[in-house]
Amino acid sequence: MIAQPEALNFECENGNYHTFCPIICVAWLYQKIEDSFFLVIGTKTCGYFLQNAMGVMIFAEPRYAMAELEEGDISAQLNDYDELKRLCDQIKRDRNPSVIVWIGTCTTEIIKMDLEGLAPRLEAEIGIPIVVARANGLDYAFTQGEDTVLAAMAARCPDKSPLAEVEKNERNAISKLLNFGRKKEDVAITESEYTEHPPLVLFGSLPDPVVTQLTLELKKQGIKVSGWLPAKRYTELPVLEEGYYVSGINPFLSRTATTLMRRRKCKLIGAPFPIGPDGTRAWIEKICSVFGIEPKGLDEREAQIWASLEDYLQLIRGKSVFFMGDNLLEISLARFLVRCGMTVPEIGIPYMDKRYQAAELALLEKTCHEMGAPLPKIVEKPDNYNQIQRIKEIKPDLVITGMAHANPLEARGINTKWSVEFTFAQIHGFTNARDILELVTRPLRRNNSLKDLGWEKLVKEEAKV
């Protein structure tokens, strides 16, 4: 019998990032920040990528564009400022956004284009804020594109407005007017929904329904969310002052967390991420503990969710899942699947910030011990050739991988699931755990259906070919 390690094992193979380019963050951020416009500054290759990757969103009016660098630009023969001013003037004339976000690409990095130097001067001329974010594929996995944008926006969040006291007085006056004629006892109940605690700002881009769900989950504990970064509108960015508490909802936002702590002097709540019922409960409990609040009703809430997932759990309990590494959600998803009864021999991840994910790593280790599951090996920047050899040896029941490797693995008879689907699905909070398992079990359910139809032999023969 092989002795299992007592602590998580970390390795680094220095492989290449096999992920989308991080400029794809434009796809969800331009829809989230409704009064924004994104200008991607790169070559025709960047334009082709965006055109193909975001072509499925043609039904939605896009608020992004490409500033394509030509040979003349790269040879430093043309004036960058004049061309960017022309484009931004056109954006202002056609769309009049509240903010223009310049997305720097690999090319702007290679030719040392001074976007940060150009932006303040142009911003003063056109009268629209210009936020510079370098989301190049040289340094980042694709979800980290959002991290660079939010880190840049964190620097633009306002301090307490000089009109804050006036607005507070106005709100009090409106509250008195709305409560006119009500019993004092009823008014007291309404006003005591929240416990007295320091301001809390959450950061990470989520669909509006998920934002509402997580906000309400905290409200049940008497915790008020003072704002979200990003907000639905750039003009509604949350106030950030020294001493404010912040908490991230995604594992790939370490740069934003660092910016909030160092530049805005905020206090980071290092909690597991609210993915799966176990992670959501741990996230709420950690925030409650920081504010000295005794959480209530979480046992029943989590038990209710697990009971509703039993039909999915029966399909995956006892099976193994291998993560090749793509979107930096791997640790959180692995922890949730171990809690579901799966084993995880290896977790590949493009980039690991052990400080920012410390609480998540601790919960993964705790979950493995409680479930009697072996601790996974965590491989940063995995070499895909080596990974494929390990997959052949381990023979996992499912491999969660980037799109590039899915079809070759399927051709060898290995069940796969695209990791990018978890990026775009609603996976946060108690109620969305079912969506995670819907994605995880889909290839397994497909194979079960093929067996029922008697196609198992045909599939094996095709795999050999």
Token pair recorded at residue 434 = 């079912």
Q: Which CATH number fits domain 22-140: 3.40.50.1980, 3.90.550.10, 1.10.1740.10, 3.40.720.10?
A: 3.40.50.1980
* pLDDT on residue 51: 80
Least confident of 198-207, 260-269, 271-280, 398-407: 398-407
* pLDDT on residue 381: 92
Q: Is the fold of 22-140 the same as that of 192-296?
A: yes
For the domain spanning 192-296, the CATH number is 3.40.50.1980
Percent of the chain having pLDDT more than 70? Answer: 85
Domain map (residue ranges) of the chain: 22-140, 192-296, 299-464
Total number of residues shown for the chain: 465
How many other C-beta atoms can be found within 10 angstroms of the C-beta atom of residue 216? Answer: 11
Q: What is the pTM of this model?
A: 0.88
User: What is the architecture of the domain spanning 299-464?
Assistant: 3-Layer(aba) Sandwich (3.40)
> Which residues have C-beta within 8 Å of that of residue 18, sequence separation ≥ 6?
324, 325, 326, 384, 402, 404, 405
Residue 451 has pLDDT above 90, yes or no: no
217 backbone dihedrals φ, ψ, rounded to 5°: -60, -40
Q: Rounded to whole angstroms, how far apart are CA atoms 391 and 396?
A: 7
**What is the average pLDDT across 75-90?**
82
Q: Rounded to whole angstroms, how far apart are CA atoms 422 and 348?
A: 15
* pLDDT on residue 1: 41
Higher pLDDT, 192 or 273: 273
For residue range 7-25, what is the model confidence (pLDDT) as tens digits?
Answer: 899 999 988 777 888 999 9
* pLDDT on residue 150: 97
pLDDT band for position 137 (cuts 50, 70, 90): confident
**What is the average pLDDT across 188-200?**
75
